[in-house]
Structure 1
């Protein structure tokens, strides 16, 4: 599958900057558009002046059925910068509402994003594509720095095996936009099976618009949660089952975040995917020094979205979704039962992920209660990492290598309180005696990434891109799409961050 361009090449049309009709041999569907005008405003993206490629993911092109070579063409560049319309698409900006920092914000919506349509099972959206009726006080644009961060992090999360939206490319322009200082504009082309959020449901519930609320819920169930319609011995209706399914998916997603030290930074209900996908990468951060109370978003003055608060905030957001669905569920007990699955699902998933990081998954322990013993190991270890502010990613990778070699000196060197670590290590080694070392080491190297998108690496890519050097973006993408591989040419990216990394401030401004 690919893309072909049908352009009017007559002598009367010699201006390549004028809109051209881009025709693809992709089959475009517009199912969200078919929901009707209650859900969106039809709207074409606004053009970028003289766009250029900043970064592109051939893996995502293949996922869409798009020939990767087209990511190097002028025609697709113009189309994904929002300059030329694509045949078969019906661009729109959707409306939703939501809670922001715990307070009801009222109507929100796609303030700078345009949904082009759906192809090969994925919705394709241009983020940063100009003003919409939902831009409020914004300009509808995204800046280069935030676009690069979202593009690379989307693919990095997928490389880590974390549920996430994906990103096809970033297109840039020298058009200026103003934030704290003047910056240049960019557009991220991102994809997901759906971009529907908790806030879509909150919008209609708040307005007491039962008909579109039901229409949206039925659409989501039919498209993405058909099992909710399957007869079951469990009590409950399809809407309660939908809430439970979203609850469980969200719990799994957040457990993945906590296991790799990922801070989202702005977990508003309008940033929560109905499919349990990580989405809307703003002031995110992979922690360097492990600090459970770390706040990555400098706009989060109260610490609502601190790292250790993320599971509880996700649960709070699910209650907001449950409240929005109550007119359909119509039974508080069923809604509470659905929401009650969050904590056990999170606990189980997080325990499984942490056991894999420790290499404790393949062979059952001979202790009377291996789960309890392993949980104690995990809890004590996280406390040690927090006390000494140990580099989280570096610790886990070194531990994986140490188990393979049975030499733990490099791991021990990361701690200030060596006696406390030695005490924990003794218990861990006793546990290792019950396990196949070869299987264990292999599992750990596949569970503990060598590379994550540290803030300073993103900053290096951004600073280079400002000079039109996009090689660091390309290199980061190559490494982070396969973060468990060795990549010896990029060994320095696997070490501790430089001192200046601590001064990087990330906020909601983008």
Structure 2
């Protein structure tokens, strides 16, 4: 995630023990012994929206004020002390930027409650997460999320809900006028998020600046991808490798094949070319922009599962390969290509399920 340019906590180390522990991964009674392990995770602070909610609920106003003041003093240099509206506005802006980056890379958190949202708008509490394979807006990585509350498509909506909870938690520190100001900021969330979303998706298509029909262009591509279940990561990456004036698809463009025979594909290409012309974006610049924001590799669940199966046998070779490759996700790697990391996921990947205990 860090190498993708997404704000995140970091894993500093993992220590694996020879001691075995009993785990019931999917809470279905099928318990098994697995090696115990401890992961050391680092972040500037672990304060979350939930950290403030519980203090407000318990009417601990002094502690609430101390936590917010501490966060502002140490991590928000542009916010004046005790300017809690500006603090809230900063969290909203940074959070909208974070979820826009998630959406742009096909990342789905899986359990996005207020206790899993950092006040610093960094990705924390990795559990049943997953990157999209085929573009499915309803994708849910958490096997116990039957209602799809935390689906890929719902993430911006959930961010907005959680930020409204943050506004409620801050109320003991706000005057009536300031409470209204935070309510007004929440009302602007959709516009703030859309601006962030368009900024990054514009670059995913290689546009050097805004274009008149960019919203229609992006939506048209996503509609085709959804209808043909095109691979999310590789569709954008392979699109950046094409020459639009002379489109020739080969076996390396396997993701684009799924949309190239869509009845609206030629309409998309025409609109795409018009947008590039309007923004005066040359082909060389388009390729450069797209390859800087569209990764060749993301940590797909099948790749993690394959590494886990090896690691359970004491073989950490694939784990180390993944560490190497994912440190430079925008660069092609011969070993990664040989292992199929940029190929269509294997059939068995469709059956993978992830839980909070994964």
Query: TM-score, structure 2 length as denominator?
Result: 0.91
What does the per-residue CA deviation read over 1:72-110, in whole Å, with 9 as the maximum and x for residues that have no partner?
xxxxxxxxxxxxxxxxxxxxxxxxxxxxxxxxxxxxxxx
Q: Which residue matches 1:245?
A: 90
RMSD (Å), alpha carbons: 1.7
What does the per-residue CA deviation read over 1:230-265, in whole Å, with 9 as the maximum and x for residues that have no partner?
7xxxxxx61111111111111100000001111100
Shift >4 Å, 4+ stretches: none
Once the two structures are TM-superposed, the CA of residue 406 in structure 1 deviates from its matched residue by 4.5
Q: Which residue matches 2:247?
A: 407
SS in 2 for 1:171: strand
What does the per-residue CA deviation read over 1:407-455, in whole Å, with 9 as the maximum and x for residues that have no partner?
3523641227522222212221233344211111111111110000000
Matched, 1:480 2:314: no
Please identify which structure carries the higher strand content. Answer: 1
Residues 372 and 429 (structure 1), Cα distance of their counterparts in 2 relative to 1, 3 Å cut: closer
What does the per-residue CA deviation read over 1:370-391, in whole Å, with 9 as the maximum and x for residues that have no partner?
5441111011111111111101
Q: Which residue matches 2:22?
A: 178
Of the candidates 215, 218, 236, which is equivalent to residue 396 of structure 1?
A: 236
Q: Does the aligned pair in 2 maintain the 1:248–1:341 contact within 8 Å?
A: no
Once the two structures are TM-superposed, the CA of residue 473 in structure 1 deviates from its matched residue by 1.0
Q: Does the aligned pair in 2 maintain the 1:240–1:335 contact within 8 Å?
A: yes
SS in 1 for 2:143: coil
The separation in 1 between residues aligned to 2:315 and 2:344, in whole angstroms, is 25
Q: Does the aligned pair in 2 maintain the 1:198–1:272 contact within 8 Å?
A: yes
Matched, 1:222 2:73: yes
Unpaired stretches in structure 1, ≥5 consecutive residues: 1-156, 231-236, 365-369
Q: Which residue matches 1:462?
A: 308
What does the per-residue CA deviation read over 1:161-219, in whole Å, with 9 as the maximum and x for residues that have no partner?
01111111111112222222222211111111111111110111010111111111111
SS in 2 for 1:227: coil
SS in 2 for 1:258: helix
Of the candidates 168, 181, 184, which is equivalent to residue 334 of structure 1?
A: 181
Unpaired stretches in structure 2, ≥5 consecutive residues: 25-30
How many residue pairs are counted as aligned between the two chains? 341
Once the two structures are TM-superposed, the CA of residue 337 in structure 1 deviates from its matched residue by 2.6
SS in 2 for 1:288: coil
Of the candidates 205, 228, 248, which is equivalent to residue 56 of structure 2?
A: 205
Matched, 1:445 2:296: no
Q: Which residue matches 2:350?
A: 502
SS in 1 for 2:39: strand
Q: Which residue matches 2:28?
A: none
Query: TM-score, structure 1 length as denominator?
Result: 0.65
SS in 1 for 2:79: helix
The separation in 2 between residues aligned to 1:496 and 1:405, in whole angstroms, is 26
Q: Does the aligned pair in 2 maintain the 1:199–1:269 contact within 8 Å?
A: yes
Q: Does the aligned pair in 1 maintain the 2:15–2:39 contact within 8 Å?
A: yes
Once the two structures are TM-superposed, the CA of residue 325 in structure 1 deviates from its matched residue by 0.6
**Higher Cα radius of gyration:** 1
The separation in 1 between residues aligned to 2:187 and 2:93, in whole angstroms, is 10
Q: Does the aligned pair in 1 maintain the 2:211–2:275 contact within 8 Å?
A: no
Q: Does the aligned pair in 2 maintain the 1:254–1:311 contact within 8 Å?
A: yes
Q: Does the aligned pair in 2 maintain the 1:395–1:414 contact within 8 Å?
A: no
Q: How does 1:133-152 map to 2 (within 5 A)?
A: none
Of the candidates 309, 317, 320, which is equivalent to residue 471 of structure 1?
A: 317
Q: Which residue matches 2:27?
A: none
Once the two structures are TM-superposed, the CA of residue 404 in structure 1 deviates from its matched residue by 8.0
Q: How does 1:301-320 map to 2 (within 5 A)?
A: 301-320=146-165
Once the two structures are TM-superposed, the CA of residue 221 in structure 1 deviates from its matched residue by 1.0
Q: Does the aligned pair in 1 maintain the 2:142–2:355 contact within 8 Å?
A: yes
